[in-house]
Structure 1
Amino acid sequence: MVNHQAKDLKLSILDLATMYNGESAWQTLQNSTDLVQLADRLGYTRYWFAEHHNTKYQMSTSPDLLGAHAAAVSNNIRIGSGGIMLPNHSPLKVAENFSILEALHPGRIDLGIGRAPGTDGLTALALRRSREAVTTYDFPEQLDELLSFFSHAFPNDHPFKEITPSPDKHLIPDIYMLGSSNGGMQFASQHGLGFVFAAHISPQLAVPMLRAYRENFTPSSYMPEPKSVLSIIVIAAETDEEAEYLAGPAELQWVRWGTGEFQLAPPTLEEAKAHEYTPQEEDVRRENKGRFVIGSVEKVEKQLRKLAEDAMVDEIMILNMLTEKHTRHRSYELLADAFNLSPSNQ
């Protein structure tokens, strides 16, 4: 069993491209551009975009397009999807798109794959264009197709055997399964793929699922050894008090989501500070504590190293959710310094 040393912990970033404080779509995407360039300079390992649909305040609908832009404006950092929600897509088209990205930016592209639609049922229907596609669970077949397109390894009698997604058979990104339950872990371990667990969605399952992935991993042509990442919301600042204040909007937003309020704009710092939680909201807020790591950079560093050790991972992917650009950048700068990141250490 691999002995993961906390001192070697890598840090990465998950971006939802959220429109904070009434920002325009252009400004939000410019903020993502600036952040990926900062992360590149600081030595973060990878920068992924999520796939969400029918949201009023998130621009991350197309992680492949955003990834193409991010890779073009950066130099060293790996770029990818967190993830491509495969039920919304043709496996062939995903293979084509990510083969092109890999050709443009060799050795820097990741394909994170999700099993959920990343949206509501009506939007899923609009994406997939048939009710049968929405109600049929065929993810295992979709995943097999996708991997076969990349490996050019369809069975001889398969109707897709002669389809060529790319003229170059070596254009294969690093492939990861996303998960917040047992299902993603099983696909990742059985197919020999990387695994990223969303602890900000299911914090209580993160450690057991990530440990089970390593214990059950089957080597493959995609990955000879297991690669696992824990994703969680991290808000670091100079002091605990400042971090708690800066985390106010994210905590309030998760409380709103937990009580069925999905269409409100992301709270501002002032709104979060002035908000008086109802008893029901306080209960949800307490239940959400495991989704966050909040505090001074020293406190956050200790918690992340402990999480990584417990989960047997050597990489943490950070969902930041800070509403102010300068505090967002400062949080990542503090963490890069605490973990001794540098572009050459990737």
Structure 2
Amino acid sequence: MSVNDKEIKLSILDIGTKLQGNDASQTLKDSTERIQLADELGYTRYWFAEHHNTANQVSTAPELMIAHAAAHTKRIRVGAGGIMMPNHSPLKVVENFSLLEALHPNRIDLGIGRATGTDNLTAYALRRSREAVLSYNFPEQFNELLSFFQRNFPAEHPYSKIIPIPNEQDQSLIPNIYMLGSSTGGVEFAINEGLGFAFASHLAPQLAIPVLRAYRNNFKPSTLLSEPKSILTTILITAETDEEAEYLAGPVELFWARLHTGDIYSPFPTLVEASKHRYSANENAARVQNKDRFIIGGIRTVAEKLRNLVKETMVDEVMIMEYYADKEASQNAYRMLAKEFNLRGSNR
């Protein structure tokens, strides 16, 4: 499969990282400015994650972030990456995203996750049921979600009389639906139900190529999607030079090293803190193990890596996880990437 620059689409995943010195309001303001820039530069979509009970992330309600972001942009698709289904009622998810689709036609994406995006205690607080926390009923939730969207419950099903959103055309309020995955589990749902698929390569880099190739080669068309659409999500840090990019990557490398050594509550490091940090033996081992999770380098370096990765994984799109400790560096990186990959709007 050959891929040229015009076919490589770029998008952004925002987990709502709160930088030191910022409160929640400033963090959300920065996200709004970032999506407006992405809209102007020609990025394809901008997704918000769902995480709970974290020390550094404010993106707890993607549907609210989507509503705000879509109202402040013009063209870019906006979505959830994703909605963690164990935390939600399928009907309520359908109601929320049908409303979003009605407000912003043909601009809304729904990424579906099988995990909770949090710890067990918080999952219990969200779901109010110990049994629900300990059980796995995602397939049932998933089927309900799709049936509510398509209004195709069997006539004898008790939910067949429930109307999520009154609308003359039943199919008109369905967002683009993607299955999320970081293993071999999620991809099976995407293949068998004919949905888009987004793979989190930063969580399982060794699986990215085989899983994404399997999705494209085995995809089964559906009424929702006639041909495969795949996204690879990665943590990417870039700048004018390799040296500058390595410096900018210091905070995310330290943050992930701490995560993998059990430190989940430290604030996201600053550039100065990361540059001065002396890694412990355990942190350094984690840092080495984490290298494949990141794409780091000057714009020419990362552009070559991205082109090769797109060819190897056969994806339609690369989604960059927002992990910059400096707002200006983040904006500069997105401008450089837009220019390098000839995104529409990059020359404005």
| TM-score band w.r.t. shorter chain | over 0.9
Taking the aligned partners of 1:6 and 1:292, their CA distance within structure 2 comes to 21
- Return the TM-score normalized by structure 1: 0.97
2:292 paired with 1:290 = yes
Give the equivalent residue in structure 2 for 1:338: 340
Conserved in 2, the CA contact under 8 Å of 1:249 and 1:323?
A: yes
1:21-52 per-residue CA deviation (whole Å, 9 max, x = no partner) reads 22011100000000000000000000000000
How many Å apart are 1:181 and its aligned residue? 0.2
Q: Which residue of 2 aligns with 1:143?
A: 142
The whole-number CA distance in structure 2 between the counterparts of 1:240 and 1:4 is 25
**Structure-1 residue corresponding to 2:323:** 321
1:122-142 per-position Cα deviation (integer Å, ceiling 9, x unaligned): 000000111111111100000
Match of 2:81 in 1: 82
Shift of 1:216: 1.4
The answer for the alignment partner of 1:280 in structure 2 is 282
Q: Is 1:5–1:309's contact at 8 Å kept on the other side of the alignment?
A: no
Mapped partners of 1:252, 1:30: distance in 2: 25
Query: How far apart are the structure 1 equivalents of 2:4 and 2:300?
Result: 18
Shift of 1:286: 1.0
Cα distance in 2 for partners of 1:17, 1:320 equals 8
CA contact (8 A) 1:179 1:195 kept: yes
Q: Which residue of 2 aligns with 1:195?
A: 197
Aligned position for 1:125: 124
1:229 maps to amino acid:
I
Task: With the length of structure 2 as denominator, give the TM-score of the two structures.
Answer: 0.97
Equivalent residue number for residue 24 of structure 2: 25
Aligned residues of 1:180 and 1:198 also touching (Cα < 8 A): yes
Question: What stretches of structure 1 move > 3 A for 4+ residues in a row?
Answer: 2-7
The Cα shift of 1:343 comes to 4.9
User: What per-residue deviation string (whole Å, max 9, x for no partner) do you get for residues 317-345 of structure 1?
Assistant: 0013011110010010110000010159x
Residue aligned with 1:156, SS: coil
> 1:4–1:314: 8 Å Cα contact kept in structure 2?
no
Aligned residue pair count = 344
Counterparts of 2:246 and 2:208, CA distance in 1: 23
- Retained in 1: the 8 A contact 2:55–2:264? no
Pick from 218, 224, 228: which aligns with 2:226?
Answer: 224
SS at match of 2:290: helix
Query: Cα distance, 1:3 vs. partner?
Result: 5.2
1:259 maps to amino acid = T
Provide closer, same or farther for how the CA distance between residues 306 and 78 of structure 1 changes in structure 2, counting only shifts above 3 A. same
Instruction: Give the drift of 1:156.
Output: 1.7
Q: Which structure 2 segments of 5+ residues have no match?
A: none
Counterpart CA distance in 2 for 1:278 and 1:119 is 27
Q: How far did residue 215 of structure 1 move?
A: 1.3
Alignment-derived partner of residue 13 in structure 1: 12
CA contact 2:239–2:299 (8 Å) conserved in 1: yes
How many Å separate the matches in 1 of 2:289 and 2:237? Answer: 18
Structure 1 position 260 matched with structure 2 position 259: no
> Where in structure 1 are there 5+ consecutive unaligned residues?
none
Are the equivalent residues in 2 in contact too, given 1:5–1:314 (CA < 8 A)?
A: no
Amino acid at match of 2:243: E
Moved more, 82-91 or 271-280: 271-280
Aligned residue number for residue 314 of structure 2: 312
Deviation at 1:279, TM superposition (A): 2.3
Percent of aligned pairs with the same amino acid = 59
Using the TM superposition, give the Cα deviation of residue 4 of structure 1 relative to its aligned residue in structure 2, in angstroms: 4.1
Does 2:302 match 1:303? no
- Determine the C-alpha separation between the residues in 1 that align with 2:89 and 2:3: 37
Deviations 1:136-167 (A, max 9, x none): 11000000000000000001221100000111
Partners of 1:266 and 1:152 in 2: how far apart? Answer: 44
- How far apart, in 1, do the equivalents of 2:132 and 2:68 lie? 30
User: Per-residue deviation at 1:280?
Assistant: 2.0
1:39 aligns with 2:41: no
Distance 1:105 1:277 in 2: 47
